[in-house]
Chain A
Amino acid sequence: MRSGKDLELVTLTKRYGTTVAVDRINYVFENGSYVCLLGPSGCGKSTTLRMIAGHESVSDGSILLDGFDISHLPPAKRGTAMMFQNYALFPHLNVRDNVAFSLRMKGIDKPERHKAANEMLDLVHMTAFADRLPAQLSGGQQQRVALARALVTKPRVLLLDEPLSALDPFLRIKVRAELKRIQRELGITFLHVTHGQDEALALADEIVVMNNAVIEQAGPARSVWNGPRTEFVARFMGGHNVISLDGAKVALRADEVTLGEAGLAATVISVEYQGAHVAMTSMTDAGEEVLALVPEEQFFQTPKNPGDAVRLAWDEGRVHRLQT
């Protein structure tokens, strides 16, 4: 729903000499949504984020927030705030002073800025650590402080540059739930850059998949995952097979592939037990790999081993044609 308060990119371009890092992208980020910019490294997603933040100059095009062109404003005047990948906490300041830093720069006096900082620390459950130095905190705690510091300026849009990449996998899942909670509580736009599709699916209302400096596909998480438009998106989002049928590339969800009496002939090349599912990879006669996620109970009724011949079947209606 366009509200006139959205963040909008208009033919946004970034060139470094002759290389184009971001190529004339257009997009409207709906106000109050959680959006993930997803793509492989070097696809331009971080550059896009840094241009929105104001840490990278815009070569061409503009960035609109609330209908105003913010592309030439300094970072702090844009209504955006950035959370850095390595958190970038000031090592010589304690947690409270880190959070209150932007208020101090504005010349707000001590009691008031400490009060605001304490409120933010409360939001991220870090009140007990207010007097510690960043070096005395764990990665997850530093991350919360960085979040509080970004939020204390009351930004309209929060920009997160791979915020979970420095955390271990268990903590990552915990922290992403936390991010989602905070976004819901504040109701502001979160723009989150990541290269992990599971992270994007778990968090995003909307996913923007980028590749080679352009937006490959964008939309609600479910529609992107269920309806990949191109081979790149199908492969990058995972859980899909890309095979040739009748001379055209099609995408087929791995969990839609069943083992049957009739169907496409293939040879099993690997079997991996994954708990709820068994991931069975097989090679068709045409030389294409097909992954089938078979519910484990079903698989072990007629277990297969590498080298076995199988027949792969699926519901015709679930095959999804890809654009070339």
Chain B
Amino acid sequence: MLKNRHIQGWLQASPLTLVLIGFLILPIITIVVVSFWQATEFSIIPAFSLENYEFLFGSHVTYKVFYATLKYAAITWALTLLIGFTVAYYLAFHIRSQTMQIALFLLCTIPFWTSNIIRMISWIPFLGRNGIANSALQSWGVIDQPLEWLLYSDFSVILAFVHLYTLFMVVPIFNTMTRIDHSLIEAARDNGASGFQTLRHVIVPLTKPGIMIGTIFVLTLVMGDFITVRFMSGSQKANVGRLISNDIALLQYPSAAATAVILLITVLIVIGILLRFVDIRKEL
């Protein structure tokens, strides 16, 4: 009987295990293996070599690009958290009726029915040198010259990131907030907490798991991105994703694989550090 149950358990777990092995573990192993191969301009040599990593760690471009990637991730994270938390807080605590809550929540998701790339590109005519933003500001007399930094700059890259990924912050935070018992807010008020104190000592601590899940979404999306940076910076800015995509375009697969491995490790370290602070298990 016991043995039978063992077999049943393995059988039930096996489809997912096979999917994960085939589509996650094997590709990662392949990438790790390829990252140790050698490559020349016209051939790939399957021999163990550390030269990809030596080149990667020996080049100051790598550090610059990793720094830029982390900078995009950090700024985007801070902005999406600020906006996401505010929106979720408003939905969860200021909208009384549940029907209205759901309606407004769905409204937030409507932009996501459009492709990422289209939403990104639609910023270009808005932010361009003679775009809507510049002409409006000029006609109001706020500026004399068109602002050059609106498009093809760090500003436009981060703007697009925030636009694309804020919902990934709103959803988990809203989800956690709706589970907060409203009598806790009343209890805090009864105990003399001001609105801000309630936020700081009751709502934020209880929302941490949601914040953490949103953080993981945003960080992994931003750190793995290459297309947003390419479009919104007019190919003038770089991040790790673009480094990898350029290598692939030049058929330098071993070098791309090595960069990917380092990026993967970086992301895992960041998430590992975050998870040490917050226990998200009860949210899953």
State which of B37-45, B79-87, B183-191 sits at the interface with chain A: B183-191
In contact, B187 and A76 (Cβ under 8 angstroms): no
List chain A residues, Cβ under 8 A from B194.
105
**Complexed CA–CA distance, A122 and B184 (Å):** 24
Contact flags A40-76 to B (C-beta < 8 A → 1, else 0): 0000000000000111000000000000000000111
User: Which residues of A sit under 8 angstroms from B205, Cβ to Cβ?
Assistant: 92
Stretch of A20-28, A79-87, A189-197 that contacts chain B: A79-87
B174-202 Cβ-contact flags toward A at 8 Å (1 or 0): 00000001011011111111100100011
The verdict on B206 contacting chain A, using a C-beta distance below 8 Å, is yes
The answer to whether B181 touches A149, judged by C-beta atoms less than 8 angstroms apart, is: no
Instruction: Choose from A53, A92, A106 the contact partner of B190 (Cβ within 8 Å).
Output: A53
Residues of chain B within 8 A of A84, CB atoms compared: 183, 186-187
Q: A92-B205, A92-B206, A104-B201 are in contact. Are A75 and B190 (CB under 8 A)?
A: yes
Q: Residues of A within 8 Å of B, CB-based: how many?
A: 25
Q: Contact check, B192 vs A55: say whether CB atoms are below 8 A apart.
A: no
Q: Is the CB of A101 within 8 A of B188?
A: yes
With A84-B183, A86-B183, A105-B197 known as contacts, the answer to whether A74 contacts B206 (CB < 8 A) is: no
Contact (A102, B189) CB under 8 Å given A91-B206, A92-B205: no
CA distance A104 to B193 in the complex (A): 9
| Contact in complex: B181, A88 (CB < 8 Å) | yes
Q: Chain B 143-186, CB within 8 Å of chain A: the 1/0 string?
A: 00000000000000000000000000000000000000101101
* Pairwise interchain contact B191-A102, C-beta atoms closer than 8 A: yes
Across the interface, A102 reaches (CB within 8 A) one of B186, B192, B202, namely B192
Question: What residues of chain A have their CB less than 8 Å away from a CB belonging to chain B?
Answer: 53-55, 74-77, 81-82, 84-86, 88-92, 101-102, 104-106, 149-150, 153
Which 10 A/B pairs are nearest by Cβ-Cβ distance?
A76-B192, A102-B191, A88-B187, A88-B183, A92-B205, A105-B192, A105-B193, A75-B190, A82-B190, A101-B191
